[in-house]
Amino acid sequence: MQKLDDLVLNASPEELTKIQEIDYLTQMEGLSFYDVYVDSSSLINQSIKKSFRKS
């Protein structure tokens, strides 16, 4: 969560616009932007671990 906080706090105006759009879309789906970020990070980490195991 700290990484996401830092991302938002240090974002440029253009990046904030993109983050706001993503936040709006996740809310329309009934999800939290933070939850989606955390879930996607864990999915990415799982994919990386799986690819290393295959090597």
> Token match 């616009």: residue?
17
* pLDDT of 55 above 90: no
Banded model confidence at residue 13, pLDDT cuts 50, 70, 90: very high
Summarised one tens digit per residue, pLDDT across range 17-47 is 998 998 898 888 888 888 887 776 544 444 4
Q: Residue 7 has what pLDDT?
A: 87
Mark 8-25 as b/e (b = at least 16 C-beta within 10 Å).
eeeeeeeeeeebeeebee
On whether the pTM is more than 0.85, the answer is no
